[in-house]
Structure 1
Amino acid sequence: MVNFGIGGYHYFCASKVIEMGLKTEGIFLLSDDVLLKFWNLNNLDTKKVWFPTDLILNIKMRPNEVKNWMHWPNINKIIKMWSDFDVVLQKSKNSKEIKYIKNRIENITKVKYCGSDFFYLPSDKFEIGYYFLNKFRKYDVFLELAVPIVLAGIESNKTLQIMNGHYEWGGAPLRFHQMYSKINFFHPFKLSKLKQKETASNYCLYFVNDYINDSFQMFRKIRNNEMFRLYVYVISAICSQNFIYYQREALKIFETQEISSFVKCRCNIILLTYFSVALILQHYRNVTTMFNLNIN
């Protein structure tokens, strides 16, 4: 998703999805500037919170203290919110709200500041997550303080699922390919950077190649001839100029097959990604040389 200002819209989106009441195991919120190898997240526990770093709170909150840090005013917002929670404890007749505050907030004297561009919230954390995310947004707390504090209050650091990756700060050159094999995400990465030939080449050589090979392994496990044909059509769409024909043939197979919801969801993602990449790369005369495919 696209983010603005203090990042309140980011975690506000999580709240709105919870309001929709979808029957899902959890929600995964992702900003628009993260390169994520999502196919490598299969080993993470969907019953636990996922986050790009630990949730150890390490910044002491001290009222009226002034620090030369652009986000320090947010600390005072949090202190004000904590103070207002004390009033809620005295006046609220909502036993669930009182329990939330006493169990999660009462003893917190520290906060954490870190990159929070994506996180996963399991369904059994929806209710309490919704409560606190809305409170932090009400007080206009910056994304990279609000999210880790909320998650630290609802998930133990011992059971937290940490997504291995790399945050690049300070406008450093886009060198994700130099560490690609060791990480599952890279931030920041905007698709607009594919206008740069070197970045586009590395994106295809590493990310798209990895994605295609992983997808092919999934299709092989399905052992369905029609699904294999679907894969071939999609690859053909990428590697040729006749995108529309192969897209149409692939969608015919997709629409006529009895496919499980999991496979259908995965195929949707694959098709959308492949055809998007095909359009991005259509100015390359020989795209196939950029891929190291093994389809034997």
Structure 2
Amino acid sequence: MKMTLIIAVLLITIGIIGFITTQSTNVLSFNTTTLDEKKTLPAEGIKHIDVTTSYADIEVAATSSEDIQVALNGKVSNKKDTLHVERKGDQLFIEFPEEQNGVSFSLGGQNHAQLKVLLPERGYDAMNLDSSSGDIEVQGMSLFKLTTNSSSGDQALMNNEVEETIQLASSSGSIRTKKLRAHHISVDTSSGDVINHGTIAEKSEANTSSGSVKWLEHEEDTDITVQTSSGDTEISLRDEPLSTSLLYTSSSGEASIKHAGFSFTEVSDDRINGTIGDGEAKIRVDSSSGDFRLQ
């Protein structure tokens, strides 16, 4: 009799757990809302663009249209997550989800959204893009200043011309760029890798803790600075430098220099110092345990 009672209790318990699990899944599915929202506004007079989102991927690209187009697509668990587009003078603010009474709450595991912004092909003074867990992609833009920031999302930038400064920052996401042109480019990550290809800039900087850094086919005879803890560094130049100085310092890393024109004044286990020509441009690589290759 006791054994029968125990089995009955177990069966009832299993049934209750199964019912709760099924209902929870159904509730989450039922509460998922599909996003499909589009907004269009005139671009005339807009000089500053600010895009902020907690979890959506951000994609910014140039368009031949005369209007700014903003499109939001995806699925979210919180029906109150809405898109906010507002113009204030020459500034355009795009926010998703819009804060409600100073609070925005969503179940991150149930959310996936893409925020696409198409901007007419013209020059803009500044663009600021900020996403916590979403990716950021920018291509074909002409700007005076560009700033991006993400926590865990990856970043990809292609074919952008910036007159002054490009500042890219990410905590754990990777940053990849191709054919960027600017006066000054700064890239900062904690654990994400940094890969830049075809950069044209008078001054390029990269700082990372554990991620690797690559400046590939970079413009020669320009300033390049890399600081990393345990990540490797690779630099390749578009053409042979004519006036560049090189300083590499490391605690336990190894270096490989494949430019025959350098005259070295110091070569040791933790320090390499060399010069081509007058050494006007400066390549500086400081690493704790990462290796370095220049080719």
TM-score range, shorter chain: under 0.3
TM-score (norm 2): 0.25
Q: Counting strand residues as a fraction of each chain, which structure ranks higher?
A: 2
Q: Give the TM-score normalised by structure 1.
A: 0.25
Structure having the larger proportion of residues in helix: 1
Larger radius of gyration: 2
